[in-house]
Structure 1
């Protein structure tokens, strides 16, 4: 069964909530490779469970068959979904919960025969008929940046949509729109896209070349071979692909590329070279397959929207003299992971750009920020090769996530927050006093009163009125399913498991020893609908705070010897004016301009390099079997890996340090990690077990000093638990 990633569930939840907001337009920004189509198809399915009278219109760009691809994905992931193409609409019209996939070109392009004038009238009649039946349209504009035209706008207006969701990896600014953004780091953390784009690896500060084309292609072919061997070591059939992007109007350059590749035995004839140009297409059959033969494909600036080849990993961007606009889609082509997972190896978990085009490089850096950096390979100094520690890893036979632990956590939460017990009648009274609504009817709030000047004060003076309506199991049943589904999304639980939790906690007809309430089925429906926002907040608090942790079964941990990797790809900011070598680092050539680093990490590395007490320091990786990790569980029993930031030695004693966001000038915490207290306890357990030292280090911006906490975690910098780092380390 297909499993949605946590960030995908969260995005679906945000899209659901946007339906209740006043903004007509929603901008859905999601990185290439994040499963945007999967998110949106599941959103349409969830929406159909709890909202009445909607028709979804999915508008796709391009001359290709992207609408058919998108429809096929929805049919694959959402069984029994009502999907249609334009031809189906022309025959059958629109029905409730239809998901209609339509190509813009067929509606907007002059001279296009897909819809003759008479058919266009017929199409408009289908829209009018839908409105007459009380149906409303929700428009999804795929790759919206490609269809920002007056003609496209006119098409959207035909539908008189109640909501327009514009999707793009590079959306333009729209005023008065709700922005829903999938953070790139979340997609990387799930292993769907590569951790890093490495630019011009090993080029150094100045290089002289006879032929830029042969120089760049040599680097790319060497990297392709290195990657192929690394995949084979992991028993993977992935055959990494080089994408060579030519400037437009560059027949001479194309000829030079083809002739040079032929000297390396990469030709059309032996199948190793493919080409995708408007006037020439060769060796493209099944090129997206993981083990396809071609190792190089030649393209020009624009490549068909929707082309999806996850084994593409290297881009050679050849320079031209004219100003060419930077297209993030090109970089997106090489960012997907071939097998939708990281290999816990920096070489395979990165993608590579080789170019002398400075404008393009700057465009990449501007868009990807710290995700695009220069890199060089560094080697471990001999004296540090025998250092060993014990790394903990999640066992493959660990517990699977289920509703049981989430249920126990909620029982504990209600006990601590509301004082509940097994006396359910008493519990109802306690929960009423804290704002819960109990009724067998559905209560919705509206306001009454007069407003003259549209000031905030006048709006606040309006009286709240409860609209009470009898429970209708058909209509409100769908609303109940929708609410339960949305709560599940917040906890990363499927609908069935979330419904189990609700029923065991509150439904008298479902057996459970630690019931909070005993409501009949109709009352459960009303309870969830009436108290949806309160339930959402209570569930969120319960799952994230260590206060409500139940006794979890000990995680099944696999132990492994950890040694500092003998070599690694060092990424740094080549534009930084200060390129100081940190001598105390375990790697030769480690620079002060190391990236990606937080402010706390930069300050800590500088402190260690300047301290006479530190023998050596190692920056641990943040994901992968080759790095030091410690296993812990969240409140729902999900196993998580914690990778402490630094390992160092002081007078021969090993210390492990985690740096966190600091405290601002007024003392407020800037740490955004809600699991910090839990990670602190986990680190303390590990240090005690292996007789090591360490703690959490944070920066106090009011005095620009670093402080360390080693015994009991406290989020208040004025607490005695925080000691000045220089007094300890």
Structure 2
């Protein structure tokens, strides 16, 4: 792969593979602006074409612009040796196996277009028929599907007689009979690709009298732009942050007033500081997306051209006339990208900003972004707490990747613990068969009574359907491709490379590969294909769970990751860019927080965090409480290792002083009224041991805090990790903080 993919992108690729194996025709990829949707799809297509020959992808784009050309260029850039085509290329050479064809479907629908006309050249439909004659099959990707889901768009798709349509959008329409692949926005933020939060109307007080909305809002925006410019310069980043001014459609008077306002401040088209992108009016747009381009402001109308990306865009000013207009999430998406695809560990730079007096628009933003759209204020650390110091751990840049030996060890250990395997490979086969693994020289596909194919190795997912199975002999070419597909998919789920997991499977399961023992089975190469394909779902779960399996020896012996840990002194940041939900009823000031003016409506906060902050505020023994950040070198962090030997970082939620002693607290999902765990973090046991070791090294106190819904109490676990609330490991927090 030409670029380093984020783990969420690898998981999305794997989920798309899963979806392609389902019985649904429609696949919906919901991925927010800035998440690398094109990167995900191009790498997915590349891997899919390696696994399934005689396939052609048709990538359909909407709009009057050149989005298809942009997408083609990106795939050519990301995927070395990719076989991409445009409509013009297809008209000359037709379709070939492995093609990815980027086509603007609106151009195909134009009456003036020659592609679908009879004539001297073979027309487009005849090229499709020739592809069918050559046993080629088409898979469709509809980019920006919220725009391409029309009757005419459906006519284009019908030409290809496809069995799979992937519709990709940040705001897809509702499809009930489809497989959804959703990229969590929180993971895109954690990867540093988009800004952490949208700040609404900073510095605008409720009840302010405004005589001139243009002067009022643009003044706020220009002041913010100058602060951002200075902050980037202080970081050594050559970024000229851009203000996007959005005008209502069909309001030339407002446009004239905006241009005049900027001209009075020497921001004009003539000196290159002002740009415009309107119907029939384009100024200073060349390379405007470059990090240090001259324009500091661009004027646009409500509808932004599809595919227009400018990562340095940081501020949106939404002006209105007497009518409120329809909110479009794509508008906000234009200011959410990070200019260098990383966070700067400074709240000022890691946020984007909206200034508007359009209450309907503001409400729509809040509904769309939820806790990602908040009010903000600058808070300052109490003077007496500026001397508090801890040691923060980070992963140094020398770490080069996961250790294949540790991953092999973790997966082998998982089999040993959960399936009782040992050195006797013949016995291992019997034990795995007894646990439900299928051993066969055939590849099975399970079929429902209606004769619809389900998927090899997945009959257990259809308990309410009477199923039988069909099977076919192993074909090393065909099933070798499918094996590659499945191993890539499993590896992507846990952030491993295909080559690494393939080598592990061969060492564990294939005769003669491992000379150092540690084998589970003695299969031949072709039998390995059958074993993996027939047991794909079990193997997916095993590898995923093995990555988080608690291997005490690994965690207690810090030498395994000590070379990757860098340490630095941590002081509580003197200034906090505080975000809060102004719509909450309670707006109490928490006096015990380290920052003056900290509110009970602080957001984003999880329910456990809210409960813990409220508890500390009302508990006499608590001297002060600091809410740690969730990412960034300016916050307090601890290094731990997963079971594959990869060093990871986590940021404990709170640092608290209780009766003069420092406690480090991590909050997690609680226990329901039946005692069932609601913690969704599979790495919690590993993080707990890392926290406990850290506390021992520096003679501090701390633990994990979780809510017990049955008693309504917060409980703390400090000595050993347990997922059982009834165990003696969990104590009432009120008994400890007293």
Report the more deviating stretch, 205-214 or 107-116. Answer: 107-116
Verify: 1:628 aligned to 2:632, yes or no: no
Matched, 1:545 2:588: no
Deviation for aligned residue 1:185: 0.4
Equivalent residue, structure 2, for 1:334: 335
The within-5 A match list for 1:633-652 is 633-652=641-660
Q: Which moved more, 1:345-354 or 1:430-439?
A: 430-439
- Assess, with a 3 A threshold, how the Cα gap between structure 1 residues 463 and 73 changes in structure 2: closer, same or farther: closer
| Counterpart in the other structure of 2:316 | 315
For residues 639-678 of structure 1, what are the structure 2 equivalents within 5 Å? 639-678=647-686
**Structure 1 residues 3 and 119, CA gap change in structure 2 (3 angstroms):** farther
Report the alpha carbon displacement of residue 148 of structure 1 after superposing the two structures with TM: 2.4
In structure 2, the CA distance between the partners of 1:590 and 1:463, relative to structure 1 (3 Å rule), is: closer
Q: Is the 8 A contact 1:247 1:319 kept in 2?
A: yes
Query: 1:188: which partner in 2?
Result: 189
- Name the CA shift for 1:402/1:84 in 2 (closer, same or farther; >3 Å): farther
1:414 alignment counterpart: 415
- The Cα offsets for residues 572-603 of structure 1, whole Å up to 9 and x where unpaired, read as 11122221111111111111111111111111
SS of match in other structure, 2:521: coil
Contact 1:548 1:635 in 2 (8 A): no
TM normalised by structure 2 equals 0.94
Q: How far apart, CA to CA, are the structure 1 residues paired with 2:71 and 2:120?
A: 24
Aligned twin of 2:479: 476
Q: 1:549 to 1:121 in 2, by over 3 A?
A: farther
Residue 414 of structure 1: how far off its partner (Å) = 2.0
Distance 1:362 1:71, change over 3 A: same
Is residue 685 of structure 1 aligned with residue 688 of structure 2?
Answer: no
In structure 1, the residue matched to 2:149 is 148
Instruction: Kindly report the root-mean-square deviation, in angstroms, between the aligned alpha carbons of the 2 structures.
Output: 2.2
Aligned-partner Cα distance in 2 for 1:538–1:64? 46
Distance 1:461 1:98, change over 3 A: closer
Are positions 1:492 and 2:500 aligned together? no
1:360 shift after superposition: 1.1
Following the alignment from structure 2 to structure 1, what is the Cα–Cα distance between the partners of residues 71 and 51? 23
Deviation at 1:403, TM superposition (A): 2.5
TM norm structure 1? 0.95
Q: CA deviation at 1:267?
A: 1.6
* Separation of aligned partners in 2, 1:166 and 1:78: 21
**Corresponding position of 1:377:** 378
Q: Secondary structure at the match of 1:528?
A: helix
Offset, 1:379: 1.0
- In the other structure, the counterpart of 1:269 is 270
Equivalent residue for 1:527, pick from 508, 531, 556: 531
Following the alignment from structure 2 to structure 1, what is the Cα–Cα distance between the partners of residues 419 and 17? Answer: 29
Q: CA deviation at 1:341?
A: 1.0
- Cα distance in 2, alignment partners of residues 197 and 447 from structure 1: 49
CA apart distance, 1:720: 2.0
1:274-325 C-alpha deviation (Å, 9 max, x unpaired): 1111121111111111111111111111121111111111111112222311
Within 5 A, what are the aligned runs for 1:325-364? 325-364=326-365
Hey, what's the Cα distance between the residues in 2 that align with 1:319 and 1:559? 51
User: SS of 2:590's equivalent?
Assistant: coil
- Per-residue deviation, residues 507-553 of structure 1 (Å, max 9, x unmatched): 23434412222323222223222322222222122112215875771
Q: Which consecutive unaligned segments of at least 5 residues does structure 1 have?
A: none
- Report SS of the residue matched to 2:123: helix
Runs (5+) with no aligned partner, structure 2: 453-459
Aligned 8 A contact 1:542 1:548 in 2? no
Is 1:554 the equivalent of 2:557? Answer: no
SS at match of 2:375: strand
Is 2:414–2:549's contact at 8 Å kept on the other side of the alignment?
no
Cα deviation for residue 443 of structure 1 reads: 4.0
Is 2:595 aligned against 1:593? no
- The structure 1 residue matched to 2:589, chosen from 581, 584, 596, is 581
Q: Work out the CA distance in 2 between the residues paired with 1:180 and 1:399.
A: 30
Structure 1 residues 156 and 448: alpha-carbon distance in aligned structure 2, compared to 1, 3 A threshold = closer
Correspondence 1:108-257 to 2 at 5 A: 108-112=109-113, 115-116=116-117, 118=119, 122-257=123-258
1:29 pairs with 2:30: yes
Give the 3-state SS of the residue equivalent to 1:474 in structure 2: helix
What is the rounded CA distance, in whole Å, between the counterparts of 1:112 and 1:520 in structure 2?
56
Contact 2:115 2:124 in 1 (8 A): no
Mark the CA change 1:384 to 1:164 in structure 2 (over 3 Å): closer, same or farther.
same
- Report the Cα distance in structure 2 between the residues aligned to 1:620 and 1:484, rounded to whole angstroms: 38
Give, in angstroms, the shift of residue 650 of structure 1: 1.6
CA distance in 2, matches of 1:278, 1:718: 66
Q: Distance in 2 between matches of 1:306 and 1:509?
A: 53
Q: Secondary structure at the match of 2:155?
A: helix
Q: CA deviation digits over 1:602-635, x for unaligned, max 9?
A: 1111111112211111111111111111111111
For 1:384-463, list aligned pairs within 5 A.
384-446=385-447, 462=466
1:502 to 505, 509, 514: 505
Is the counterpart of residue 291 in structure 1 residue 295 in structure 2? no
SS at match of 1:267: coil
Q: Do the aligned partners of residues 463 and 106 (structure 1) sit closer, same or farther apart at CA in structure 2, a change above 3 Å counting?
A: closer
**Match of residue 710 from structure 1:** 718
